[in-house]
Amino acid sequence: MLFLAAVLSALCAYLLGSLNFAIIVSRLFFHKDIRQFGSGNAGMTNILRTFGKGAAAGVLCGDVLKGTCAVLLGKLFFSLLAPGAGVIYGAYLAAIAAVLGHLFPLYFGFKGGKGISVATGAVLAIEPPIILALVVVFLAMVICTRIVSLSSITVAALYPVFTFVYFTFWGDGSSLPWVNTLFAAVIGALIIYMHRANIQRLRNGTEYKFGQKKENEK
């Protein structure tokens, strides 16, 4: 039953993660594909820069919610089919699958976003105190640097560190801190990998800063 729980959790989470709301919103309300504008990324930041705050808010809510729902489904399948296997591991498995669905959406040619919003929703359902700490770090960095990508990369790198500290000192008693940290590291690594072009621009000093005007707008 453990295998069935794992398959159902991963499959449902991936299919749910494949519902990329940046693409859905841009097509449904603007009759355009966000991947053809701006950075070409199917994510909230590109939506904000291209279609404005209202569209970005809708995308953010949708992507966070699907991450949360994916984890809740993972917990449900493991609770029903393999309760002794550690429900939290089912939650992590679903979180990774949802992020993969967002990055490589089945419904949209396997070209999606970078995973921050869906990962936020997933972590919120697994470790609420950790997501609170990460959000504080993210907002502080955005305010200080005005570079969303740098802030995203930083919190992705800190996520496994915070996970290890949290479960070492305030663990749930039913899971191993190093295993939880490994799952968190996989999620963080996926997000950092998807920001590899941003990392190169950061090195070159050409990365976009929030509020910065494009050359043709100056």
Residues 6+ apart with CB under 8 A from 150: 141, 198, 202, 207
Quick check: is 161 in a domain?
A: yes
Are the C-beta atoms of residues 68 and 34 closer than 8 Å to each other?
no
Q: What is residue 213's predicted lDDT score, i.e. its pLDDT?
A: 60
Q: Is residue 183 part of a domain?
A: yes
**Number of structural domains in the chain:** 1
In a domain, 33, yes or no: yes
What pLDDT score was predicted for residue 217? Answer: 38
Residues of the chain with pLDDT under 50: 215-218
> CB-based contacts of 117: which residues, under 8 Å, 6+ apart?
43, 44, 59, 60, 63, 64, 67, 102
Domain extent for 137? 2-212
Contacts 24+ apart (CB under 8 A), 203-212: 207/147, 207/149, 207/150, 208/39, 208/147, 208/149, 209/145, 209/146, 209/147, 210/142, 210/146, 210/147, 210/148, 211/146, 212/146
Q: What pLDDT is stored for residue 214 in this prediction?
A: 53
User: What pLDDT does residue 170 have?
Assistant: 86
Q: Would you state the pLDDT for residue 172?
A: 73
The pTM (predicted TM-score) of the whole model is: 0.92
Q: Flag whether 120 is in a domain.
A: yes
Measure the CA dihedral 9/14/20/24, to 10°.
-80
Cα separation, 159 vs 166, whole angstroms: 10
pLDDT, position 208: 80
In terms of Cβ atoms closer than 10 Å to its own Cβ (0-12, 13-18, 19+), residue 18 is buried
pLDDT at 40: 87
pLDDT of residue 175: 82
Examine residue 75 and state whether it is found in any structural domain, yes or no: yes
Residue 69 within any structural domain of the chain = yes
| 142 inside domain | yes
Residue 90 burial class via C-beta count within 10 angstroms: exposed 0-12, middle 13-18, buried 19 and up = buried
CA distance 21 to 60: 8
65-98 pLDDT per residue, tens: 999 999 999 999 999 998 776 889 999 999 999 9
Task: Report yes or no on 217 lying in a domain.
Answer: no
**pLDDT score, position 177:** 92
Model pLDDT for residues 164-186, shown as the tens digit of each residue? 999 999 877 778 899 999 999 99
